Chain A
């Protein structure tokens, strides 16, 4: 237990250090990580222990947020909280998302570098969750619909059957759909598949493995526009194409019968000498008979 404590402590220090570092080398880092942030997000709880550790750290960023807001107008840090409910219970805080708010030159604001710190379950929450598992009920979460002025117009709710979450630990997967600073929807569930029928299975570790993804809207593909020229080229291309076909592709239907006939002729030719060699008398008698038949008719 003590070792775990110390490791968690060191981790906490490390985290603080990184945050401090991030403050100092701000512009540099944001450039570097932007691309993959938007696409894949960040896996907040890469190690299960981190989630438990970040809990004491969570109050610290909030004053920092304000100071940063006033400090830099380009990027600033925002936080919004995740709340959860067991079945039909009321919502209670469950974790904090922190992200960097990036203001683009033409006024649009986007979130990048999303991090998530999950609060560990308390004993009562564990009991509540167990009850959900037994009753195959819903575990519900909610987020504010606007990250700057929570809760915005309304909370975004998402829910999952509690039995979908437990693996070894509790695996969860967030896909947060954003439009500027508005949260449109959050898709919450297990990162992989959920078995059906759902079996009752208690997690061996009461900690969360969280994966978060930020998603923005895709651009629709542009309608193709053809000019006359392109169409003409296409036409030519199509005309040329038939010529490219090989000789075999073109005339296989003639070649195969031809081949068969040749084969047939070959075998016959092979047989012929044999017959001539072995059964010459027979063939002669046949020929005689052939010649003999009409004579026979005549004879009648």
Chain B
């Protein structure tokens, strides 16, 4: 029995070691990985400061996060990331203990427990047609002893009990074609009013009984001129709207079911007015804000619809919602911008001239202008009102201001990363040797002794803590210079706000940040947004005197053909070297494999008119480009039409003004997918900077297979148009998935294969000569992953040694895409348990290390799967030779080993992308996963075979050597003595 157990244990150990595991020990967490939590740009904020031990603010964001933040430090108490389709419309706090969120266009109402964020209840409110969602939380209204929340969404008004989410009553309002703009509950009454527009030219007000939802007769009033924009409520009884021409203000009064209108031309209250005016949404009692050209006017509504301009401000500024103060007054905050600072004023709604608070705060220019402001009051030591301001800046960062100071700030722009590029750190110049970091020999020895104790497991808990501290503090990893292993790098990230951050890979801190000039709002560029980052200059020969830089590409609008903007940013200093734009539209950016004498990479930017523009715009770049003109090809996909086209460069553009850097393109090939059976679902290409170590693969039986390695391959998958919906919306017979491998120079289809009964969502990754893709198999009701490997047959007869010796082989001859390729593909499919959000593949410096496929799972974790499992040559019974080669016996599904989650216990909430960067050390690759959270780690797919681990005990080695030396000496002396004695005997 004992023997059996032993054998079992041995076998177990053998098997557990046969799969390389990437797990780490508990005390290694945080050594080479870091995780940062963000929430995104705040949309709504509700303060909870009264009667609470921990003062907090509950926020909802554009990343669909609802979070409770510590008001003292800005840390996250709790947060929940709702799905990308579950947009939060409104939030509020009820009963002083529940956070209410209304999301998905007013159809899902949830309550979260305020202290710990547990979900208390959830109600799905079903309606008929989409409408503007509204949430009304009356402060003291009870229906049958229940506090009630009123929700208007999808054409229905619902009364929901705030304790358990039960729908007390609901009433359809949209059936008469009314578009509700506001629900009003006058305090203490038993009626609520729903006010909105009927068509374009009629105001309607509904009266509902609070208890039963009973609808009394609606009152309508026709306004023939018609309305434009929203109703803006000034008081509970008065609203203001703009007429359809944008020149007449209409004050609307609701009283006892009666509606009265009062018209005032804008020109009457504002002198030199021309053009149109827009009412900005605001919630200040008795007042509204009118936007005219570049200035805003604050207009007070005096009784009976008389309007009066209170103030007119020229600058762009933001105004908070009003906040009720204790003595039945309401205050609001106004933020104005000065030179490098912001001016905060708090005014009472009734009194414009005097300010309750006036503060000036220095503000970093890189944060841009104030986007939103929320205020909260507290009682000061001297019993007067003090105010806190939560402001959201143009770069999406969140700041809390109090008493003229920034209490805390959060860089929540990092929750919406658009693109990432890695950049090297500066070379060490002034001869600071790494050894100097270790303070002195004693410290060094002490540290290693501690480590030794740790390895020998004789360390006390205090020692363990000390070891952990030393490890975390090792200043090595956060230094600002290049290291020998290439672990230290800068991650340059572009956020949706148009801000560029440089993150240090050692500890994830922000080295510099820059709100790009080209991506700031301006007259010429209304809605700028960043699209992508590209390596502009990556100096190797001039590494000491040239700084690397990145090209930031942006667009001035949401449509593809809006004008483009460009910026070039130095990655060491974070300065914008130059910016261009607005210029031609930018559809696609092609980094060319050529660099000029300054090592600036040539880029080809394609615009909407099928013209290619060359950057940098220098004569040298043009000369290089013209030499290679005939060898430049690209492709474009028209996804809605299902056409793939190949293009080549032709000649200079024919324009009014001659532009040497603009080139016309011509169509060289096209592939038209039959529109009734196929739509393009996904594409994948090889990463441009991928390194392939060997062109061949030697199989177990001493055969050589040549990989078909071409940079111009495109993997494309199409699905049946019907199968575009969610899984289960089609039957297996209706759905199929076709995959293509296409040479993008000639348009040749190298491989084409149909998966019947399968559908998307499809994720694919392309590396070396293989493609791995993930899809859903409707017949098997499971997700599947398939692999395609492409081998070159044209070179297969180069195995002859004699040929190689005599040089008659064709391995070194230049290849051209116009030769007919003879390829064979091998393919196999496996079942896979998880659905996958995103996919990536590890990349190493020389491409020797085996690859891993990184899968972003639906649980927002990153799973590393060995490529060995996705080998098309796996068979059920591998031969001895195949086993020696490392082929795993065929299984129908891919194993998920819990230790291979590289995010270990952490979650990268809202995971959107994974990028891998090779380190200089061949065995290691750097992985950066981003979504709402950021996660960075180092990965060694075949373990670190080329270096000692960080916690390698040099002291132990030293001691061993010394001990051995001593032993040698002692034994030598002994032997000498013995020999002498022998001789004397």
Contact = CB atoms under 8 A, between A and B. Distances in A.
Nearest to A152: B672
Interface string B775-804: 001001000101000000010000000000
Interface string A149-186: 00011111111110010000000010101011011110
B830 interface: yes
Interface of A: 88, 136, 138, 140, 145, 152-161, 164, 173, 175, 177, 179-180, 182-185, 187, 189-198, 215, 217-226, 230, 234, 237, 297
Nearest to B889: A234
Interface in B251-273: none
B672 A184 contact: yes
Interface string B796-815: 00000000000000000011
Given A158-B669, A160-B746, A224-B890, 9 more contacts: A138-B648, A145-B674, A190-B820, A193-B816, A193-B820, A195-B816, A215-B749, A223-B829, A297-B985
Q: Give the top 7 A-B pairs by smallest Cβ distance, nearest first.
A: A193-B819, A196-B816, A182-B674, A194-B818, A185-B671, A223-B829, A145-B672
A277 B877 CA distance: 63
Contact of B666 (A88, A180, A221): A88
Interface of B: 630, 641, 643, 645, 648, 650, 666-675, 677-678, 738-739, 746-749, 752-756, 777, 780, 784, 786, 794, 814-816, 818-820, 827-831, 876-877, 889-892, 985
A224 B674 CA distance: 30
8 contacts: A88-B666, A154-B672, A158-B669, A161-B818, A185-B749, A189-B746, A195-B816, A220-B755
Contacts of B777: 223
Given A152-B672, A194-B816, A230 B831 contact: no
Contact of B747 (A88, A185, A194, A237): A185
Given A177-B749, A234-B889, A184 B673 contact: yes
Given A189-B746, A234-B889, A194 B669 contact: no
Contacts of B889: 234
Contacts of A195: 816
A224 B780 CA distance: 11
Contacts of A185: 669-672, 747, 749
Given A217-B738, A220-B786, A187 B752 contact: no
Given A154-B643, A218-B754, A220-B755, A187 B794 contact: no
Contact of A179 (B643, B669, B674): B674
Contacts of B828: 221, 224
A192 B819 CA distance: 6
Contact of B670 (A154, A217, A225): A154
Query: Which of A173, A197, A218, A224 has most chain B Cβ within 10 Å?
Result: A224
A280 B484 CA distance: 69
Nearest to B752: A217
A184 B749 contact: yes
A183 B670 CA distance: 11
A297 to B, nearest CB: 8
Nearest to A164: B818
A160 B827 CA distance: 30
Contact of B746 (A183, A187, A218, A223): A187
A175 B752 CA distance: 13
A232 to B, nearest CB: 13
A218 B877 CA distance: 26
A145 B889 CA distance: 44
B114 to A, nearest CB: 49
Nearest to B825: A218
B643 A197 contact: no
Nearest to B631: A196
A184 B671 contact: yes
Contact of B892 (A190, A191, A224): A224
Contacts of B749: 175, 177, 184-185, 187, 215
B671 A189 contact: no
Contacts, number: 136
Contacts of A194: 816, 818-819
Contacts of A187: 746-749
A222 B782 CA distance: 13
Contacts of B746: 158-160, 187, 189
Contacts of B738: 217
A187 B876 CA distance: 37
Query: Which of B650, B674, B786, B815 has most chain A Cβ within 10 Å?
Result: B674
A138 B668 contact: yes
Contacts of A160: 746, 818
Contact of B752 (A138, A158, A196, A218): A218
B617 to A, nearest CB: 26
A215 B752 contact: yes
A93 B650 CA distance: 24
B832 to A, nearest CB: 10
A196 B814 contact: yes
Contacts of A157: 645, 667-670
B869 to A, nearest CB: 13
Contacts of B815: 196
Contacts of A155: 670
B920 to A, nearest CB: 34
A54 B677 CA distance: 36
A45 to B, nearest CB: 17
Nearest to A165: B818
B877 A234 contact: yes
Contacts of A184: 671-674, 749
A226 B892 contact: yes
B877 A237 contact: yes
Nearest to B739: A220
A225 B876 CA distance: 11
A220 B771 CA distance: 14
A224 B874 CA distance: 11
Given A155-B670, A159-B668, A184-B749, A220 B892 contact: no
Nearest to B643: A154
A209 to B, nearest CB: 14
B797 to A, nearest CB: 13
Nearest to A137: B630
B733 to A, nearest CB: 11
Contacts of B814: 196-197
B873 to A, nearest CB: 12
B521 to A, nearest CB: 41
A145 B827 CA distance: 29
Contact of A220 (B674, B754, B780, B891): B754
A222 B667 CA distance: 38
A29 B890 CA distance: 44
Contacts of A136: 630
A179 B794 CA distance: 28
Contacts of A156: 670-672
A221 B643 CA distance: 27
Nearest to A140: B668
Nearest to B818: A194
Nearest to B630: A136
Contact of B756 (A175, A182, A219): A219
Contacts of A154: 643, 670, 672
B829 A222 contact: yes
B753 A219 contact: yes
A218 B753 contact: yes
A183 B820 CA distance: 20
Given A88-B666, A196-B815, A221 B827 contact: yes
A155 B747 CA distance: 14
